[in-house]
Amino acid sequence: MIETLEIAFYLATLVAAGRAVLSLIPNGAERSHAETAALSILLGCGCVPSAMFILASIGIRPNRWELAATMLISIAILARARRHERKPGAEPETRAGWPRFEWNRSAAISAVCAVVALAGFAVVWSHATLMPAFDVDAYGHWGLKAKVLFHEGLTPDGFFHRLPLSYSHLNYPLLVPFLASGVFAAIGHLDDSSWRAVFPLLYAGGILFMYSSLRWKLSAIPAALLATAFATAPATIRWAGSGLADFPLAAFHAVSIFHLVKYLEEKKTGDFAISALATAFCAFTKNEGLALAALNAAVLAAFHIPKPFSKRKAAEAALFAAALALLTAPYLIWRAGIPNTQAENYTGRLLRILEPENLARLTETARLFAAEMFDPNRWGLLWLMLPLAAVFNLSAFEKRRVLAMWTLLAGHLAIYAMAFMISPWSPKFLADMALDRIILHAAPALIYLLAFHIEPDNAKQTPDSHAA
């Protein structure tokens, strides 16, 4: 019972920290309660491990005092923000809240979707808290590093510098291990049965964010249906509570690309800041996230700077790249001193993609990707719906957000396809080992594209929303 309360305090600390960070980002008055709750969870799950990493770099490993200080600082920030809202003469915040309840067809369908999503949450929670880790990487990679971080932190002569332990990818991003180590810090000791308790919270935040972000252009029913389809897809349910970093990456990626295209359309500072933060979290979650961070920066530059060109827009794109560099610098500096013993070494092999034997892999790679994406046992009909939705609403391609999201999805899949082509492992081996998790990373872009292609023609537009 005591341990349950300690873990609950840690989860509350994550949410409080995320809410505090969110209070510092502009445009808060326009966020619904659902979006605020979702972003509080996801920003907390990104910012707290990032802060843990900084502290561990100076010799402070995760502990209860650190968590207590995080909660106190978060409360202080929130109290100050609240006082500012109540100052005489300050404009009262008129946040978009929950819609007024009326029992009608929309409410009934949304209620059914909520029940189905809650069933998905129950499965993820049971998997994460009641069952042992079934994946070897969950136990021997992510969970092992969470134990190491709690036990010794980032000591210069510790685990991450010992070559005989290199099977666990010593220089791999550490957001998820730090996030899980917070559970050990909260209860004060190592416990294999508890470290995955953070994953149901991440799942809840990711699905709630998916729904709230879809409401940008969709009414309640299609938004609820699409969010529920993503929440209960077999691949999502299988990996969300596993202890691996794939669902966290998908959740952070969803935040980063949604707010990126929203910024392209509405030019609001809050979207810029949230996208940059979430993109940095992607880079600190998995190696794939480093490539996705570069892709996000490239898409922002490509769609923001031209038509018409201005120095200000070029400076804003440069600021996005600079923010990413600054946010990821502590991890990249640390990583530079860690031995790289990974057989894959995709960066070093990239120039070999044009070699005939690697180019010959493209056909097999494309076939494997298609087989995974269009497998109803993994994704239902979601990926099959995308080409149909695109064909039946070709006019959507006139909108900047649609072209940008298609570019993000195409670039995402191209990056992963190139990795399959240059890997020392065969495409079939990689597909059997990880393809369903890889496609999970790209699923948020799929959901947003479905939304953009089925949105009503009278959806709110901005003056340049049709600029390509």
- Of the candidates 365, 4, 388, 339, the residue with the CA atom closest to the CA atom of residue 169: 339
Determine the structural domain holding residue 40 and report its residue range. 2-81+109-341
What CA–CA distance (Å, rounded) separates 284 from 287? 8
Q: Which residue has the tokens 């609240």?
A: 82
Q: Which long-range contacts (CB under 8 A, 24 or more apart) does 343-347 make?
A: 343/424, 344/419, 344/423, 344/424, 344/425, 346/287, 346/419, 346/422, 346/423
Whether the Cβ atoms of residue 251 and residue 204 lie closer than 8 Å to each other: no
Q: How far is CA 159 from CA 55, 151, 166, 330, in A?
A: 17, 10, 9, 19
Asked whether residue 394 is assigned to any structural domain, the reply reads no
Is pLDDT at 120 greater than 90 in this prediction?
Answer: yes
Asked whether residue 372 is assigned to any structural domain, the reply reads no
What CA–CA distance (Å, rounded) separates 316 from 357? 41
pLDDT of residue 97: 52
Asked whether residue 93 is assigned to any structural domain, the reply reads no
Whether the Cβ atoms of residue 176 and residue 142 lie closer than 8 Å to each other: yes
pLDDT of residue 95: 54
Asked whether residue 178 is assigned to any structural domain, the reply reads yes
Q: How many CB atoms lie within 10 A of CB 92?
A: 8
Q: What is the pLDDT of residues 262-277, one digit of tens each?
A: 999 999 999 999 999 9
Asked whether residue 303 is assigned to any structural domain, the reply reads yes
What CA–CA distance (Å, rounded) separates 300 from 70? 33
Asked whether residue 413 is assigned to any structural domain, the reply reads no
Note the pTM of the prediction, 2 decimals: 0.93
Number of folded domains in the chain? Answer: 1
What CA–CA distance (Å, rounded) separates 202 from 46? 10
Asked whether residue 162 is assigned to any structural domain, the reply reads yes
Is pLDDT at 422 greater than 90 in this prediction?
Answer: no
pLDDT of residue 463: 39
Q: How far is CA 382 from CA 223, 313, 389, 440, in A?
A: 14, 35, 10, 12
Q: What is the pLDDT of residues 225-278, one digit of tens each?
A: 999 999 999 999 999 999 999 999 999 999 999 999 999 999 999 999 999 999
**Would you say the C-alpha torsion 48, 53, 58, 62 has a positive or negative sign?**
positive
Q: What is the pLDDT of the chain when averaged over all its residues? A: 90
Residue 100 is encoded by which pair of tokens? 């007024």
Q: What is the pLDDT of residues 445-454, one digit of tens each?
A: 999 999 999 9
pLDDT of residue 465: 40
Asked whether residue 35 is assigned to any structural domain, the reply reads yes
DSSP 319-331: HHHHHHHHHHHHH
